[in-house]
Structure 1
Amino acid sequence: MKFGLTQQFQCSYLEQQQEQLLVLVTDNNDELDNQYNYLLGQGFRRSGEQIYRPHCRQCSACQSIRIPVDSFLGSKSQRRIANKNADIEVFTSPTTKPEYYPVYEQYINHRHNDGSMFPASQNQYTGFIECDWLETLFIEFYLDKELIGVAVTDVLSDALSALYTFFKPEYANRSLGTFAIMQQIEQAKLNNKTFLYLGYQIDACQKMRYKANFYPHQRFIDNKWQLITKKST
């Protein structure tokens, strides 16, 4: 496998930091699914067709995080969120649907209008979400027959990987990000997967902290997975 380094650019999560990425370089998409299955376990992630990992010179804040799904123990807060959303119907689709994009557009333009993904566009959505060489599961959330959110989830041989969750901003008080992870854990169990990957945990970034509230979890630190069994005090 060959890799390239991007130039440094402004970090999307920490204002004071510069970001640099290590990116897989390949001309053969036939092997990408197998390569990604391995690279996911080495702290990599995908965005569209691109496989990358942070490779920042003076910062190691990004830690890949995954949940061993059979060991997961929901907290009282997470169980309350599940009960609060008991009226949501959950469906799955193996392909993206046209009705997803308007929800994505509202989510980006209202909740992330200070980030690199703003403003949302159809081309940006397609380039970020879709991937020709990888199986992807779309977990849909419906309330009173209305689509209110989608959790985009990649399917690997031994794991699911949470790519992105978006929802209608008016339902923010339902903690749908946490609810989506709980649904992805259930899907992982149903499909006999060992792990659910959640992307990168950045403790210093408020928007990312909810991922670390799922215990036990593992973090990729110093090129090895380390088990975190409870919240540090």
Structure 2
Amino acid sequence: MRHTLPIAPQFYVTAPQPCPYLPGRMERKLFTALQGDGAQKLNDTLSKQGFRRSQNVLYRPACAECNACLSARINVADFSPSRSQRKTLKRNKTLERRSTSPWATEEQYDLFRRYLADRHADGGMADMDTFEFAAMVEETPIRTRVVEYVDTDSGDLVAVCLTDVLDDGVSMVYSFYEPDRATASLGTYIILDHIEIARQNSLPHVYLGYWVPGSSKMGYKAAFSGLELHVNGAWEKMRAPETYDAQLHPLSNDPISEQVANISLPDGRPLRARRG
């Protein structure tokens, strides 16, 4: 009988490209393929180490001179809505949540195009066509849901979130919403509802992606109580936002080889031990 050892995931680094968050900086990403029978466990494990999913790829920033991007999640048990967040919930009381399998629709794509035209007309997704949009939604090897929000008064689809289900929470992969409802604070509402989804399913965390000190695009995440940041390999309760540093520190980051070696795999061992 022939026995083979499980193959450890292979990690790669992207070429430098302009940072979408901090002007004048370059970013690189460390990434690995998400595929096979172990995809769900790998996503669960690497999400706890600051990785994010995009279709069948897991990635996290691996910049040579900058470590400003910090993975953020909400500890559901520590969350308490602010006064303005309670108003946002009341303002959107006519919305109904509908959770479906990851399947793209024309109605979703139309909403997506309106959202991009208003919020991210010069972004990297601005030219995404229907096939690319379908791939973003449908190409997932793990437990993923499309969470739609429909106005029960008008019947209109007003918000959508592509959501992964992890063993310790829900991960908000990408969300978009009706730009004509600016006063409804739909982006905040989607996060608040995902906190409720996690609570209803006894899941402790809501993963939000990255928070970047000094980036106005990411400032809204700091408004949620119970926020935790992945700093130097561990999760910590968020301090006052102004105490986090977005300055360049050329010697503060480990070499890519060290970053990869210290990644823990689903079996609990670091990649360093797996290869040793």
TM-score by length of 1: 0.93
Checking the alignment, whether the CA contact within 8 Å between 2:12 and 2:30 is kept in structure 1 is: yes
- The verdict on how the C-alpha distance between 1:95 and 1:207 changes in structure 2, with shifts beyond 3 A counting, is same
Matched, 1:108 2:133: no
Residue 31 (structure 1) aligned to one of 35, 38, 48: 38
After alignment, is 74-83 or 120-129 more displaced? 120-129
Checking the alignment, whether the CA contact within 8 Å between 1:109 and 1:119 is kept in structure 2 is: no
Which residue is 2:178 aligned to? 168
Residue 153 (structure 1) aligned to one of 149, 160, 163: 163
Residue 97 (structure 2) aligned to one of 87, 90, 102: 90
Structure 2 spans left out of the alignment, 5+ residues? 1-8, 244-276
Code of the aligned partner of 1:226:
E
Which residue is 2:256 aligned to? none
Cα deviation, residue 75, structure 1: 0.7
After alignment, is 189-198 or 91-100 more displaced? 91-100
- Residue aligned with 2:38, SS: helix
In 2, the alpha carbon distance for the partners of 1:124 and 1:175 equals: 27
Cα deviation, residue 190, structure 1: 1.1
Cα deviation, residue 232, structure 1: 5.8
Checking the alignment, whether the CA contact within 8 Å between 1:20 and 1:55 is kept in structure 2 is: yes
Cα deviation, residue 119, structure 1: 2.1
Encode CA deviations 1:73-101: one digit per residue, 9 max, x unaligned.
Answer: 11111111111111222222123241211
Where do 4+ consecutive residues of structure 1 move more than 3 Å? 229-233
- The verdict on how the C-alpha distance between 1:206 and 1:39 changes in structure 2, with shifts beyond 3 A counting, is same
Residue 51 (structure 1) aligned to one of 44, 47, 58: 58
Code of the aligned partner of 1:127:
A
Q: How many residues align?
A: 232
- Residue aligned with 1:29, SS: coil
Checking the alignment, whether the CA contact within 8 Å between 2:164 and 2:172 is kept in structure 1 is: yes
Which residue is 1:16 aligned to? 24
Checking the alignment, whether the CA contact within 8 Å between 2:40 and 2:142 is kept in structure 1 is: yes
Matched, 1:180 2:180: no
Checking the alignment, whether the CA contact within 8 Å between 2:33 and 2:56 is kept in structure 1 is: no
- Residue aligned with 1:70, SS: helix
Cα deviation, residue 25, structure 1: 4.2
In 2, the alpha carbon distance for the partners of 1:109 and 1:35 equals: 35
In 2, the alpha carbon distance for the partners of 1:173 and 1:53 equals: 33
Matched, 1:134 2:142: yes
Checking the alignment, whether the CA contact within 8 Å between 2:143 and 2:164 is kept in structure 1 is: yes
Structure 1 spans left out of the alignment, 5+ residues? none
- The verdict on how the C-alpha distance between 1:187 and 1:230 changes in structure 2, with shifts beyond 3 A counting, is farther
Checking the alignment, whether the CA contact within 8 Å between 1:47 and 1:129 is kept in structure 2 is: no
Matched, 1:198 2:208: yes
State percent identity of aligned pairs.
33
Checking the alignment, whether the CA contact within 8 Å between 1:4 and 1:25 is kept in structure 2 is: no
- Residue aligned with 1:141, SS: strand
Encode CA deviations 1:141-173: one digit per residue, 9 max, x unaligned.
Answer: 112211111121111122100111101211122
Cα deviation, residue 45, structure 1: 0.3
Cα deviation, residue 128, structure 1: 2.7
In 2, the alpha carbon distance for the partners of 1:178 and 1:46 equals: 21
- The verdict on how the C-alpha distance between 1:230 and 1:96 changes in structure 2, with shifts beyond 3 A counting, is farther
Checking the alignment, whether the CA contact within 8 Å between 1:108 and 1:120 is kept in structure 2 is: no
Code of the aligned partner of 1:83:
K
In 1, the alpha carbon distance for the partners of 2:187 and 2:24 equals: 26
Checking the alignment, whether the CA contact within 8 Å between 1:139 and 1:152 is kept in structure 2 is: yes
